[in-house]
């Protein structure tokens, strides 16, 4: 599972990044919620410009989409290879078949991934189905009347130059290459964007609008004053934006039917019930039926009470998503609360905001990635330094007498499919051997020493250290941290970080 969500880097929000995190779909939901069940894999590139006119131009948007899709293709392309991947688990190399199960994102990212139009006022504003825009507030459509988007019908639409009717950009979506998943189905909105910062604030806003309409502006000021007197405590959330702006209503007040206080409270209670159910970690068929009932109940009330206070009559894509696509998503991909608000905050803080703060704010990507690398290494090794012995070496790559080392080095440089790191490792090896043979060892000059270079070595704790250009078709050089005995080095609490470039005996 991939998770993409934009975040601002500094408190002023002038710069933002789109980090991509990865987690495994078959980790139990309970563990999925923990920050360490996710790994940061990179930033999604994005184009920026200070020119407003250019930013809104069709060409710029096209380029932006193209860039994103190329990046995703580069990142996820290896998944299309059918031979799977090899990973070392507990010191043993195992074969895995991996596939992309879902991409969790916010609305804009999901629309970008699916290449559908972003405007709410288009023919088919939902990126999952072909529901007409004016039906988004219709809460009584039979599920089997909804035409879902899939790779075939979207390809067909584009091939027949009919894309506009389907509110989709004429663009060959890279995700169509994945045969066992449907990208329009797999792109899922996360819980937070749908609920906490989606439907609930809507409901608050409309309630304010309604109260203001019925009782005038004073009541809103009174409400705001009361809210302001609540002592701030941890986890108290005050939606700033919502309370600063009153919704403006024009038109004849007689047109509005006044919702009774009781109905309003019932609607809120229904929301809370539904919300609690939505946070369940596991759903069986019965739970899903109950949940669906709760969704239908609440959404009917919501539309009945508030539609008159919304300029679009509540034609809200998030409302439609929640009503028609939630149950299916849970049935297909499991409870999607694997990424809760708390997890986002920690992930963004650890992997994005803090590394940014530590950078000198110039050429930040490089610096941030380096900081992140260091963090990963320190997190995976034990804080307390323990001495590990290399127990055994495996997969002999080369064997040579030391007298032939320069010829060998030259030969390596011209060999195909040799990783740069291996060549660099060889240089270091020669330099180190020089010092070792001159100053430390007792080897006499005419003694022939043999070097054996291995692809991997197993440490006494079972971890494998790799240094090879060929590990099942990929280069693999392990990240290592070494406790330095000598204080002449600039160290991070006594540790130095690097990559193993050569395993030699």
Q: Which is nearer to Zn ion, 299 or 478 (CB)?
A: 299
What Å distances lie between residue 168 and 126, 316, 399, 488, CA to CA? 10, 18, 59, 61
With residue 325 as reference, give the H or E element that holds it.
helix 317-333
Specify which residues 400 forms β-bridges with.
451
Question: Taking the alpha carbons of 125, 126, 132, 135 in that order, is the dihedral positive or negative?
Answer: negative
Q: Which is nearer to Zn ion, 129 or 290 (CB)?
A: 129
Q: Which is nearer to Zn ion, 133 or 334 (CB)?
A: 133
Q: How far is the CB of 388 from Zn ion (least distance, A)?
A: 54
Interaction between residue 199 and Zn ion (CB under 5 A): no
What Å distances lie between residue 359 and 10, 364, 428, CA to CA? 12, 6, 29
Q: How far is the CB of 116 from Zn ion (least distance, A)?
A: 10
Q: How far is the CB of 317 from Zn ion (least distance, A)?
A: 8
Number of H helices, E strands in the chain: 18, 16
Q: How far is the CB of 148 from Zn ion (least distance, A)?
A: 8
The pattern of x and - marking residues 124 through 163 that bind Zn ion according to CB under 5 A reads: --x-xx-x--------------------------------
Which DSSP string corresponds to 328-369?
A: HHHHHH--S-SS-HHHHHHHHIIIIIHHHHHS-SSSHHHHHH
Q: What is Dmax (Cα atoms) for the chain? A: 107
Q: Which is nearer to Zn ion, 317 or 355 (CB)?
A: 317
Q: Which is nearer to Zn ion, 2 or 126 (CB)?
A: 126
The CA distance from 75 to 97, in Å, is: 17
Q: How far is the CB of 320 from Zn ion (least distance, A)?
A: 6
Q: How far is the CB of 326 from Zn ion (least distance, A)?
A: 11
The CA distance from 21 to 9, in Å, is: 16
Q: How far is the CB of 131 from Zn ion (least distance, A)?
A: 5
Q: Which is nearer to Zn ion, 128 or 476 (CB)?
A: 128
Q: Which is nearer to Zn ion, 212 or 303 (CB)?
A: 303
Which DSSP string corresponds to 207-235?
A: HHHHHHHHH-HHHHHHHHHHHHHSPP-TT
Listed residue (207, 188, 333) closest to 263, CA to CA: 207
Number of residues in contact with Zn ion, rule: CB under 5 A?
Answer: 4
- List of residues contacting Zn ion (CB under 5 A): 126, 128-129, 131
């Amino acid at each position: 599972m991939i998770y993409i969500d934009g975040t601002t880097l500094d408190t002023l929000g002038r710069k933002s990044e789109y980090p991509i995190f990865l987690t495994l779909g078959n980790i139990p939901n309970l563990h999925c919620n923990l920050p360490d069940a996710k790994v940061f894999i990179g930033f999604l590139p994005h184009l920026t410009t200070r020119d407003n006119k250019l930013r809104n131009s069709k060409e710029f948007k096209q380029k932006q989409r193209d860039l994103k899709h190329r990046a995703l293709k580069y990142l996820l392309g290896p998944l299309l290879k059918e031979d799977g991947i090899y990973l070392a688990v507990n010191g043993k190399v195992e074969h895995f078949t991996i596939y992309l199960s879902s991409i969790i994102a916010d609305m804009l990212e999901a629309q970008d991934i699916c290449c559908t139009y972003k405007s709410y006022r288009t023919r088919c504003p939902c990126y999952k189905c072909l529901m007409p825009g004016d039906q988004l507030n219709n809460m009584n459509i039979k599920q089997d009347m909804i035409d879902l988007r899939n790779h075939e019908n979207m390809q067909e639409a584009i091939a027949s130059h009919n894309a506009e009717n389907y509110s989709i950009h004429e663009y060959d979506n890279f995700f169509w290459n994945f045969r066992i998943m449907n990208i329009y189905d797999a792109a899922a909105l996360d819980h937070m964007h749908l609920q906490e910062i989606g439907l609930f604030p809507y409901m608050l806003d409309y309630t304010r609008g309604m109260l203001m309409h019925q009782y005038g502006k004073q009541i809103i000021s009174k409400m705001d004053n009361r809210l302001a007197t609540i002592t701030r405590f941890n986890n108290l959330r005050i939606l700033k934006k919502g309370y600063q702006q009153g919704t403006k209503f024009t038109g004849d007040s007689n047109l509005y039917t006044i919702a009774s206080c009781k109905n309003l409270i019932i609607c809120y209670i229904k929301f809370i019930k539904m919300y609690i159910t939505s946070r369940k970690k596991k759903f069986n068929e019965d739970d899903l039926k109950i949940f669906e009932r709760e969704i239908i109940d609440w959404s009917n009330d919501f539309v009945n009470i508030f539609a008159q206070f919304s300029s679009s009559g509540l034609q809200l894509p998030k409302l439609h998503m929640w009503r028609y696509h939630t149950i299916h998503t849970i049935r297909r991909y499991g409870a999607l609360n694997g990424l809760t608000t708390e997890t986002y905050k920690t992930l963004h803080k650890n992997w994005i905001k803090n590394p940014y703060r530590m950078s000198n704010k110039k050429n930040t990507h490089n610096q941030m990635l380096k900081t992140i690398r260091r963090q990963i290494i320190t997190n995976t090794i034990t804080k307390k330094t323990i001495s590990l012995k290399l127990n055994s070496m495996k997969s002999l790559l080369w064997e040579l007498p030391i007298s032939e080392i320069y010829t060998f080095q030259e030969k390596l440089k011209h060999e195909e499919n040799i990783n740069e790191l291996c060549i660099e490792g060889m240089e270091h090896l020669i330099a180190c051997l020089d010092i070792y043979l001159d100053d430390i060892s007792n080897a006499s000059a005419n003694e022939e020493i043999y070097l054996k270079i291995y692809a991997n070595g197993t440490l006494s704790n079972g971890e494998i250290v790799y240094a090879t250009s060929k590990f099942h078709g990929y280069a693999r050089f392990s990240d290592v941290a070494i406790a330095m005995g000598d204080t002449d080095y600039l160290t991070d609490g006594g540790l130095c970080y690097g990559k193993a470039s050569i395993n030699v005996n």
